[in-house]
Amino acid sequence: MKPRNKRVMFVVLALVMVGAASALISTAMKGNLNYLYAPEQVLAGEVPEGTVFRLGGLVKKDSLKRSETELEARFIVTDNRGNEITVVTHNILPDLFQEEKSQVSRGKMNDKGEFIAEEVLAKHDSEYMPAELKDVLAKEHTPAPVNVDGSEIKNMTKGQKI
């Protein structure tokens, strides 16, 4: 075989292997994709049956019901357009989970039209800060002492009184 033919065969073989690897990777990734749907889309039938997906929306006021004997919690997710889906979870709800706040749940629909959540995530705004971090920042970032005229006092050591 000529060196030129060997190079062509090598390039063709490399392209076939890259194509096969790409096909395998994309097939494997399809199983891990979880799309986010609103209650309106779920009720309209846009979600393929039996697939795991994420349901996003607001937790309806006064809809959270916890079981007294089990870890089960039920609540209604709404999109404020009249579309509502009951969510059932057998896991602990996050600390930030509240009624009338955003949430994202991962799971799938059952035969009764309920969303069985494997995981519930509470969404929060950008101003959220854990209490522990607030305490640390309050201690570390106290304002610098100032003179009567408003100018900052220089060369003070930490803990020194004025």
Token pair of 26 as six digits: 């994309």
pLDDT at 154: 62
Q: Which residues of 45-81 are buried (b: 16+ CB within 10 A; e: fewer)?
A: eebeeeeebebbbbbbeebbeeeeeeeebebbbbbee
pLDDT at 162: 56
How many Cβ atoms from other residues are within 10 Å of residue 35's Cβ? 12
pLDDT at 25: 87
Full-model pTM: 0.62
Q: Identify the CATH assignment for 36-122 out of 1.10.10.10, 3.40.50.720, 3.30.1240.10, 2.40.50.140.
A: 2.40.50.140
Q: H/E/C letters for each residue in the chain?
A: CCHHHHHHHHHHHHHHHHHHHHHHHHHHHHCCCCCEECHHHHHCCCCCCCCCEEEEEEECCCCCEECCCCCCEEEEEECCCCCEEEEEECCCCCCCCCCCCEEEEEEEECCCCCEEEEEEEECCCCCCCCHHHHHHHHHHCCCCCECCCCCECCCCCCCCCC
Q: How far is 150 from 144, CA to CA, in rounded Å?
A: 11
Taking a C-beta distance cutoff of 8 angstroms, is the pair 76, 83 a contact?
Answer: no
Domain ranges of the chain: 1-33, 36-122
Residue carrying structure tokens 């050591």: 157
Pairing of strands 53-59, 65-66: unpaired
pLDDT at 35: 82
pLDDT along the chain (162 residues), means of 10: 87 94 84 81 89 91 92 91 93 89 92 94 72 66 62 59 57
pLDDT at 28: 80
